[in-house]
Amino acid sequence: MSDIRRRLPPTKTSSEEKALPPVQDDHTAKVVKDVRVTEIPEKPKTRKRRTTAIFLLGSLFGIIAAGFFAKSSDLIDLPELGEFSVNSLLDALPAGLIADMRDFVKGERDFVDSYEAFAVGLQARAEGLEAHHPMIMVPGVISTGLESWGTTNISRPYFRKRLWGSWSMMQALVLDKDNWKRHIMLDKQTGLDPPDIKLRAAQGFDATDFFITGYWIWNKIFENLASIGYDPTNSFTAAYDWRLSYPNLEVRDQYFTRLKSYVETAHELSGKKVVLVSHSMGGQVVFYFFHWVASAMGGRGGNDWVERHVEAWINVSGCMLGAVKDLTAVLSGEMRDTAQLNTFAVYGLEKFLSKEERAELFRAMPGISSMLPLGGNAVWGNGTWAPDDRPGQNFTYGNLLNFRQGMNWTLPERNLTAEDAIEYLFNTTEPWYQDQVKRSYSQGVAHTQAEVDANEQDARKWMNPLETRLPLAPNLKIYCFYGVGKPTERSYFYRQPEFQPFTNLNITIDTALTEGDVDHGVVMGEGDGTVNLLSTGYMCNYGWHVKRYNPAGSKITVVEMPHEPDRFNPRGGPKTADHVDILGRQNLNELILRVAAGKGDTISDHVVSNIREYAEKVKIYEEEDSPGGMGNMHP
């Protein structure tokens, strides 16, 4: 089968190497009619440095890896960690790593100081906007802190301390790694709490405003909502334990029952329907909730529940069709962030959490596997084609996992498409992992109305918008706000691991390969730096215009936000479109306030990427159409 392997692309000239098509030079704030854009005054700029995004999947080594990308080692004080002193941390970590971690913290503090708080909200209030709809925020995978509530001997030192999303996490990871792993991993057989361990999602606004001291997540949105009249009486954060599979969120924590109650109570007390705001994985959680709440197998609210209670769903950076990097995380514990580290950084990271350990951790968090790529080859392409292949490109993104020829390695016989790669994942991982994922999720496509209707009775399908429909809510408004223009990992080259007898991994990213479009074994495509454009944009621009996926005709509004970062700002500044940092973007906050204040009808579509061109090439059609076209359903 070697004839179907593709060869390495030749090295391109500088004129050919264009990671992304040009983006129109047009400020996205124009989508809001009659709204003035107030520039946030700049304060002295912080020094330039490189930093990696906190890993999409709640990567348990995100902060460590971020430190490796810093370029300065200026010494500053680290926050105290209880009895854990800075000196003991210095003893435990390589000197270069701790210096870079200090630099990371300093950069974050400088950014917080330089970003004027409340500016967007105060401007909106001056223009007459005020709180109208109750607001419920559903965070993404890294946003919610997890704290220990166990009282056994192994848990008492961490009682009510956050073992994810705080400096307590760093303390436990560095000085008590094995015990930390016991706490953070779910039981492999049940997908619930291991014996004698009890970790729960922190609650309230404190659960999601900051990841660690200085690294804000939702804080900018909270500040601006407060400026037009929001507080804990008319806004709420629906935090959840993102490690759990979606069915187990209800089994263990009754999460969806509580969310239903929050929505109903807010609606009853205010007399106004609720606005749901989700970020990243939170978009899948909200979509699953819409099915659960209506179903007789779930909340028993009936098909009109969403129509009666929900005014709008703001879907920010929603990974509606999963993320390519999720596949590599659970397959080999790797992604671009780790593949492109330098030699010293790789050594330091492997000393803390090896690839094998990371893969085990990710697999023991079934919630993360909800973001495996959805839609198979129809969406992501095959061995000769992908919808987002660019003109003149001498390879295809359709091969998600690639293998070099002639290396005398024991590897799959051919390159692997999305469907092949997921099949390979299930064929090479432990039975407990396969069971957890297969009984919780489905990655397929429903090509007929009859399939969509039948899937309402199959809870595994509820998180997949290509197998189930939007709620029967004709007055529901859906706003898709996401970033574009930031290179995002799209496919990979893999090889046989070194020292294979000493690892359980079958393959690992070929980090030695840098040639043409391949950088340390990673091939980049389009997206927001974390989630691919096909995932954030396909359903919003096209899929939900196919009748079987949106039978009630809910209105979809799309605003794409070009990535225009301030190069001297560690978080990109008010025009960033990075997957996480977009939550602090100026005009995203303006748009959220517009919807909250009941002025969402003033927002118009603004699409600057090629997503609609790509969407037309996806092999999903209206039922009466031939594969040659999509009829007249394009918006």
Residues annotated as catalytic (active site), given as ranges: 280, 528, 579
Q: Say how far apart CA 509 and CA 535 lie, in whole Å.
A: 23
What residues are paired with 606 via a beta bridge?
559
Q: What tokens were used for 45?
A: 């700029």
Q: What tokens were used for 617?
A: 């090439």
What residues are paired with 277 via a beta bridge?
137, 314
Angle subtended by helix axes 255-270 and 246-253, to nearest 10: 80
Q: Which amino acid is at 315?
A: N
Conformational region of residue 109, where left means phi above 0, alpha means psi within -120 to 50, and beta covers everything else: alpha
Helices and strands counted in the chain (H then E): 22, 14
* Phi, psi of 260, deg, nearest 5: -60, -45
Question: Which residues, including other chains, have CB under 8 Å from residue 324's CB and lie 6 or more apart?
Answer: 373, 380, 400, 489, 490, 491, 532
* Phi, psi of 519, deg, nearest 5: -120, 105
Q: Say how far apart CA 463 and CA 366 lie, in whole Å.
A: 13
Q: Can you spell out the DSSP letters for 23-75?
A: PP---GGGGBTT-PPPPPPPPSPPPP---PPPPTT--TTHHHHHHHT------
Q: Say how far apart CA 251 and CA 186 lie, in whole Å.
A: 14
Q: How many residues does the chain have?
A: 635
Question: Which residues, including other chains, have CB under 8 Å from residue 291's CB and lie 6 or more apart?
Answer: 298, 456, 459, 462, 468, 471
Q: Say how far apart CA 149 and CA 160 lie, in whole Å.
A: 6
| Residue of 466, 415, 427 lying closest to 444 (CA atoms) | 466
Q: Half-sphere exposure (CA, 13 Å, Cβ side) for 275?
A: 26
Report whether 467 contacts 444 (CB < 8 A): yes
Which residue's entry shows tokens 């959680």? 285
Conformational region of residue 191, where left means phi above 0, alpha means psi within -120 to 50, and beta covers everything else: left
